[in-house]
Structure 1
Amino acid sequence: MKVAVVGAGIGGLCVAVGLQRNGADVTVFERSDRVRAGGSGLSIFGNGLRALESLGLREQFEAITSPEAATYRSGQRRPDGRWLATIPPDAVSDLRIVHRTDLHHMLLAQLQPGTLRCSMEVIGAHSDGIVRIRHTPGSASEQDFDLVVAADGLHSGFRARWGRDPGVRYAGYSAWRGITSTPVDLQGEAGETWGEQMRFGVAPLADGRVYWFGVATMPRRRPLSAPYEYAELNRMFGTWHSPIPELIRTTEPEAVSFLPIDELAGDLPSYRHGRCVLLGDAAHAMTPNLGQGGGQAMEDAATLAALLSPIAAGVNPDERTIDSILNSYDKARRPRTQALARRSRRLGTLAHVRGRSRTAVRDLLLQTTPPSALRSQLKRTQDWHPPEVAAVPRRMSSPSGRCEPALLHRHKSRLGG
């Protein structure tokens, strides 16, 4: 079957690899002239690992990450360093932290040559699978596909054109993100530090460098100059416990990104429209408080690839079969992702309570929450397994084709099937 994937983000690349390995003829359209992965880190928990395993990507993913993060003491601390709550280690035993650029390199390396088409924007799509593509200003064409997967992110054009878009809303807080330029010894401690309407998170990467983020309640604004953002970081977090000041100091100002935190303003009634289906942030953009944004995109990709596996290698698949599969995808993914989005929103509200008295009550709540309750919550979040469908042979894929005119430089890697 012919599949168009719109967007070369994590979800789009994952579903492209999964469908391609099951025999589908996949084209990935990326409107930018190159794939831009961003310079921050990403937390992938056990559910994300199982999704990657279902897609045939777990071995490659584990090669660029380390299980060491799962051994660190983690939870919530106060700005003075005192622990408020500690996460039971067995609840995050599969946790991996990955550099987004490394993850994109790995995914791109699994695509067959010519799969990825950069500088090609999908400007329209019919429910019957016909897409309109802009190649250059003033030049456009139409192509016919059996399935269109819209993985075009938070501001999805597909979702907007369906007429049921709830829109995007600002969560009330913004985040700075960075990765240290050199390794930093965390002394076996990571997790988050919660102040009054401010947070700082720390996670070790496989090479010893540290991914970190600072979050603060503020009116929505656009990113400003690197020196200004760097000064704001130091003003807000420079006196917090070690190693937070050191992490900021060992990160180049130009490598710090600032981003307002947005989410979907409401739940979608469906993730599909005819032969078009939404995936990842296009379907369920959520706040990052649970660390599940990337993992849920991977779950989407693994679910869709598994459900389509019996027909992926076929030509002119039956429309009723596709319709049934997309209904199954929607039924499987919508309740879980929308429930997690609500939980993530509530956690952000708790973390950013206003006022000293409310902050003190929040801290007391964290201190008195039993470890068993934390374990149960985390286990429930990660309790996901790919759908069981008829097994089909997986094809070994070749390294991906280059974008025209540019593509991320790729690491040489041994491919797995």
Structure 2
Amino acid sequence: MGDALVIGAGIGGLTAAAALAGRGWTVTVCERAPSIEPVGAGLAIAPNALRALDTIGIGDRVRERAALQGVAGVRRASGGWLSRTSVEAAQARFGDPIVLLQRATVVELLAGLLPSGALRLNTAVHDVDASSGRVSTDAGELRADLVVAADGIRSAVRRVLFPGHPDPVYSGTTAWRFVVSGRGIAAGALTGAESWGRGQVFGVMPLAGDEVYCYATATVPSGTGHADPAEEKAELLRRFGTWHAPIPALVERADPARVIRSDVFFMDTPLPAFHRGRVALLGDAAHSMTPNLGQGACQAIEDAVTLAHHVSAGGSVERGLAAYTRDRLPRTTAIVRRSAAINRLTRWSNPLAVAVRDGVMSLAGLAGPTAALRQADAAFNWWPPA
């Protein structure tokens, strides 16, 4: 097919490299970090992303790691259910589970698909020429028939391709993530649930092997994190220490050094295209979103297999990239907007507004377990291009 250079070895970049290699491209992946071992955090692989992973041969290996079962949904800070469904109902509706697993596990599976020598660590990219495919790196100048920029939310390549386009904006929320042992906590207490309070959210997601992925958000000004990890844990305890069980116990178990805090930014103004010349943008570089739908990594995976399909379908690279933009820009724009709308709901802190929000959610929940699932139809009912 030709030479493809992928910038960034995150979930989207590795999926793109694997998908392209599987279609006959000679692939090089440039990663500026010295390793691709991500810090401990969980990742949701929804049915749409599982179907995409099927096209590169690892969908079933991810399904094998499914740990969620039984009741799931949204709760109050006190523990009462606002909206409830079940993992079994989700699988029946979409034909696949939602698999929660450590991000490192997905990275390992994807990296195992790369050809020997394809990954170049400690190799930062400094400049890209979209028309020629020339890329300036720490290792010198490289040239490729196709360049895939999966270099994240602060993508330098995006700024080169679309100078002057607005950067991602602050969502109004900061987020914490950590993984702890769930051993000794009653199995019934470890349901897959997200609990909503006044301007705050706490998620509890069981993983395989007695581990639990926890995440939390709060409505605060950006840049207010703590330099001392112990202070981050103390803030979590102040915010969530009185919430329903097992949230306080899970926070207590957190290793302060492994609590990740990051302000949440998203692409409020969509790009005019996801490509220019021989260069494609993918994942957060193209359409960063808030985490409220759990679709950030899933959409990057969709991008990757769709891109590989179009640029390998015959014809010029530029023609394939134009088809990639036509496929992906409308879908990801809608999901970014939907996720941002949910983010705004979680930020409400006025007691009256919160009471109205919770009342509406409770009434919707009375319609049965499929009511919550219908909200996911647009995201989950996607199949890779044939």
TM-score range, shorter chain: over 0.9
Residue 173 of structure 2 contacts residue 217 of structure 2 at CA under 8 Å; is this kept in 1? yes
Match of 1:241 in 2: 244
Aligned to 1:84: 82
Contact 1:186 1:243 in 2 (8 A): no
Residue-by-residue CA offset, 1:109-149 (whole Å, 9 max, x unaligned): 221110000111111111124333332xxxx6222210000
How do 1:133-172 and structure 2 match up within 5 A?
133-135=136-138, 141-162=140-161, 163-172=163-172
Q: Which residue of 2 aligns with 1:35?
A: 36
CA deviation map 1:37-78 (0-9, x unaligned) = 221101111001001001222133234x22x31x23111111
Matches within 5 A, 1:394-405: none
| RMSD between aligned residues | 1.6
Which residue type is aligned with residue 22 of structure 1? Answer: R
2:43 aligned partner, one-letter code? L
**SS at structure 1 position matched to 2:134:** strand
Give the SS at the match of 2:375.
helix
- Determine the C-alpha separation between the residues in 2 that align with 1:195 and 1:361: 13
Alignment match of 2:201 (pick from 170, 176, 199): 199
Which whole-Å CA distance do the structure 2 matches of 1:241 and 1:152 have between them?
A: 39
Report the count of equivalent residues.
Answer: 373
In structure 1, distance between residues paired with 2:164 and 2:322: 17
Contact 2:127 2:137 (8 Å CA) reproduced: no
1:212 is aligned to 2:210 = no
Task: Give the 3-state SS of the residue equivalent to 2:204 in structure 1.
Answer: strand
1:201: how far off? 0.3
- Measure how far apart 1:309 and its partner are: 3.4
The residue number in structure 2 matching 1:353 is: 348
1:18 aligns with 2:19: yes
Q: Write out aligned runs for 1:217-296 (5 A).
A: 217-224=219-226, 225-296=228-299
Give the equivalent residue in structure 1 for 2:303.
300
Superposed CA deviations along residues 195-244 of structure 1, whole A, max 9, x for unmatched, are 00011001111112100111110011253211100100001101111010
Q: Deviations over 1:241-262 (max 9, x none)?
A: 1010111122212111111111
What's the offset of the Cα at 1:174?
0.5
Residue 401 of structure 1 is matched in structure 2 by none
Counterparts of 1:309 and 1:332 in 2: how far apart (Å)? Answer: 15
Residue type at the aligned position of 1:151? A
The amino acid of 1:79's aligned partner reads A
| TM value normalised by structure 1 | 0.86
1:192 deviates by 0.6
* Structure-2 residue corresponding to 1:392: none
Identity %: 37
Quote the Cα distance in structure 2 between the aligned partners of 1:38 and 1:129: 36
| Alignment deviations for residues 149-205 of structure 1 (CA, whole Å, 9 cap, x no partner) | 000000000111121532021100111111004534441522111000011001111
Q: Structure 1, residues 67-123: CA drift from partner, whole Å, max 9, x if none?
A: x31x23111111111111113542355110010111111211221110000111111
1:131 aligns with 2:134: yes
SS of alignment partner, residue 140 of structure 2: strand
Matches for 1:315-334 after TM superposition, within 5 Å: 321-334=316-329
Matching residue within 339, 361, 364 for 1:366: 361
Q: Which gives a bigger RCO, structure 1 or 2 (Cα 8 Å, sep 6+)?
A: 1
| Alpha-carbon distance in 2 for matches of 1:309, 1:376 | 34
Q: How many angstroms apart in 2 are the aligned matches of 1:132 and 1:48? A: 30
Separation of aligned partners in 2, 1:185 and 1:298: 34
**1:55–1:305 CA contact under 8 A, matched in 2:** no
Q: Is the 1:130–1:142 Cα contact (8 Å) retained in structure 2?
A: no
* 3-state SS of paired residue (1:74): strand
Distance 2:286 2:187 in 1: 36
Match of 1:377 in 2: 375
**What letter is aligned with 1:77?**
R
CA distance in 1, matches of 2:21, 2:224: 39
Residue type of the partner of 2:83? Answer: A
- Equivalent residues of 1:185, 1:208 under 8 A apart: no
Contact 2:273 2:329 (8 Å CA) reproduced: yes
Alpha-carbon distance in structure 2 between the residues aligned to 1:133 and 1:126: 9
In structure 2, the residue matched to 1:103 is 106
Tell whether the 8 Å contact from 2:133 to 2:279 is kept in structure 1 after alignment: no
Contact 1:159 1:278 in 2 (8 A): yes
| One-letter code aligned to 2:341 | R
Contact kept? 1:88, 1:375, Cα under 8 Å:
no
The answer to whether the 8 Å contact 2:233/2:254 transfers is: no
Cα distance in structure 1, aligned partners of 2:135 and 2:310 = 26
Q: Is the 8 A contact 2:133 2:278 kept in 1?
A: no
Q: Does 1:50 align with 2:47?
A: no
| Inter-partner Cα distance in structure 2 for 1:272 and 1:236 | 42
